[in-house]
Amino acid sequence: MRAVACLLILLVFSSGLALAQQTRGMNLSPNLFGSVTQGRPTGDAIPLSIADALDRALKYNLGPIISEQETGVSKAARMRALSELLPKIEGGVTETVQQINLAAFGFQSFPGVPSVIGPFNVFDIRARYTQTVFDSRFLHELRSASQQVDASNYAQQDVRELVVLVTTELYLETVAASSRVDATRSQLKTAQAVYERAMNLKESGLVAGIDVLRAQVQQQTQQQRVIAAENELAKRKLNLARAIGMPQGQAFMPTDRFAVKSPEVPPLDQALSAALESRPDYLRAKTLVRAAEESRKAAIGRRLPSLKIDSEYGDMGSRPTSSHGVMTFQATLLIPIFTGERASAEILDSDSVLEKRKSEASNLRDRIEYEIRAANLDIQSASEQVRVAESAQNLARQQLVQAQDRFAAGVTNGLEVVQAQEAVAVADENYISSLFSLNVAGASLARAVGSAERTIKSFFGGS
């Protein structure tokens, strides 16, 4: 009996690790499990479907909120790069009062010319226009910054996909915990009925007192399991509420249950092709490669000539009423001759970054294929586990009914009934765990092909 109980605890513990196993290698940010809480708890328990949970998570989960701010940082960097190529216009007004000592500058006194001139006024109003007409470095830095903005947008989309995956698995964990509460409560009712029957049979002199003790121990064991299952359900609800921005004190009931039907598994080539075209993290990796290529061109551009225009126009005189127009126009062709090895250092640095980005993109492609293959294997395995677990569950219930009948007829003792009760408990847990694994594998496949946000609502919400 102790061995069976240990097995049951191990099954519950292993099923609780399913989220970590399914998301292994994804390096999920802790932000995905946090949120900005909205509203205040109400007194009544509210229904919560998986579609509602996903909608709340996409609005209030901390991951998309922070990702949106990081996208703003990339846009600001692009604006700074663009500003280097845009014209710049500024104006200024100066009023100067001067007195000059000519002797201080080495001029001797001339007849009729005093050695000290002034004080006199100089009024100057100017408008200045400057623009970089061509600079290869600035141009490619702008293109690189634009690619970085696109990469940030893809990163934001990828965060949404991960939020959908995490929220789905947290919701499924809540459903699994709720199913375990229902199963343990049902097992407790059975244990109470067995205990009452054992008491009646003992009073009739048909069974020994040890059978009553066994039934009582089993009843209390089931009571402990109900308490543990209810506590686990409460914590799973807290985890889900924390991720979707729901107040921690808000009571809710999940309305969607496990999908029993296995998701459709597309051919590997088709799934991989769809993933490479739609997965935001892979699109981001390719965009970062292009950004690194533009950064390398920008580093080479430091060695190329550049053309700049500077011009001024204004009025100048002793006072505003006696001023005259003045202007300056200057075009500068700057030809780098020796940059102190700075260009070489930047090219070397950009080469390293480019190779790194290419390696990351190649590795991500292989990881996507791995995730698709792993999800397909998990779906196939979980489907078989569900089939076997459902059959074992039916057999365990039949075994319990027969054991109760044999016990009531005096053919066997209470030990057989207790063993049958434990077999039902293990069968129920196996069935719940296999359904949980099947549903998590379906969500992981949707993530692997880059369609989590589009398909998970319909798959689970319509089940």
d(CA 4, CA 1): 5
d(CA 277, CA 53): 27
Residue 114 has what pLDDT?
80
Nearest CA among 422, 442, 425, 430 for reference residue 386: 430
Contact 368, 279 (CB under 8 A): yes
Size of the chain, expressed as the number of residues it contains: 463
253 CB-contact burial (10 Å; exposed 0-12 / middle 13-18 / buried 19+): exposed
Residue 26 has what pLDDT?
59
Residue 101 has what pLDDT?
84
- Note the maximum CA span of the chain: 148
Domains and CATH numbers, the chain: 2-87+138-303+357-461 (1.20.1600.10)
Name the pTM for this structure.
0.83
pLDDT along the chain (463 residues), means of 10: 42 44 60 87 89 94 90 93 93 90 77 80 92 93 95 94 95 96 94 90 83 90 95 96 92 92 88 94 97 95 93 88 88 89 92 96 96 95 95 94 87 87 94 95 94 85 49
Q: How many CB atoms lie within 10 A of CB 121?
A: 13
d(CA 39, CA 250): 10
Residue 442 has what pLDDT?
93
Nearest CA among 129, 46, 137 for reference residue 313: 129
